[in-house]
Amino acid sequence: NAGVTQTPKFQVLKTGQSMTLQCAQDMNHEYMSWYRQDPGMGLRLIHYSVGAGITDQGEVPNGYNVSRSTTEDFPLRLLSAAPSQTSVYFCASKTGHATETQYFGPGTRLLVL
Amino acid sequence: DAKTTQPPSMDCAEGRAANLPCNHSTISGNEYVYWYRQIHSQGPQYIIHGLKNNETNEMASLIITEDRKSSTLILPHATLRDTAVYYCIVRVAEYGGATNKLIFGTGTLLAVQP
């Protein structure tokens, strides 16, 4: 199993540009989520999904869209990038069983100029 | 989910036990205590979790007080590779739905010194 994969690893955008951060998992996990991490801060939940076709907002959803058309993929879209979205983005997945652990991807480092 | 309080940083000598405290005084009866860590620039990694009994695995031990208002993560023989930010998270453990989401605080930066 590849686990949780994220692409790209690094990205530089100009203000106003759009892009999609990709996340995929091959563990047949029901639950997937996106976090952002800023310097000196913990991870903050952006959006999450409890299964294909179901998404919901986390702590900091503004400026981001998500969709979950398949169990494997959970892309994060920035429609109009802003400098405040400069961050490291982590995708995670787990089964629906409550005590199962959450697996994180390696992260995408995004710089918005 | 209950809020947790952790010291911002701790030092530990290599080879010694690292004891990381966490306060969760508002924890309710159906909430588990989870520990994750994040080594620099990597995604968080699960360490251990427990409800009310002490737990041990190949990575660490988790000691939860009898009143469950606090816990301690113990790394028995810390190495330089254990230098990381350690997160204590409390959440309800139910099947499915929004209860699966983890809310991270700022954690404790453990610096293992040679």
pLDDT tens per residue, range B41-87: 889 999 999 999 899 999 999 999 999 999 999 999 999 999 999 99
Q: Which residue of B has its CA nearest to A109?
A: B41
User: In sequence order, what DSSP letters do the residues of B48-88 get, joined into one string?
Assistant: EEESSS-EE-SS-EEEE-TTSSEEEEEETT--GGG-EEEEE
Which residue type occupies A34? Answer: W
Tokens 């179901």 sit at which residue? A54
Q: Which of B49, B99, B103 sits opposite A45 (nearest CB)?
A: B103
Please check the confidence at residue B97 and state whether its pLDDT lies above 80.
no
The per-residue pLDDT of chain A, averaged, comes to: 92
Q: How far is B39 from chain A (nearest CA, A)?
A: 11
pLDDT in tens, A57-79: 988 999 999 999 999 999 999 99
Nearest to B107 among A4, A42, A101 (CB): A42
A103 touches chain B (CB under 8 A): yes
Nearest residue to A50 via CA among B95, B32, B91, B44: B95
- How many other CB atoms are found less than 10 A from the CB of residue A69? 10
CB contact under 8 A, A105 and B43: yes
Residue of A nearest to B39 (CA): A106
pLDDT digits (tens, 9 = 90+) for A10-50: 999 999 999 999 999 999 999 999 999 998 777 888 999 98
Q: Name the residue among A56, A97, A101 with its Cβ closest to that of B98.
A: A56
How many Å apart are CA B50 and CA B68, to the nearest integer?
Answer: 10
Spell out which residues of chain A touch residue B105, defining contact as CB-CB under 8 Å: 42
Say yes or no to pLDDT of A94 above 80.
yes
> Using one digit for the tens of pLDDT, what is the confidence trace for B24-46?
998 888 888 999 999 988 899 99
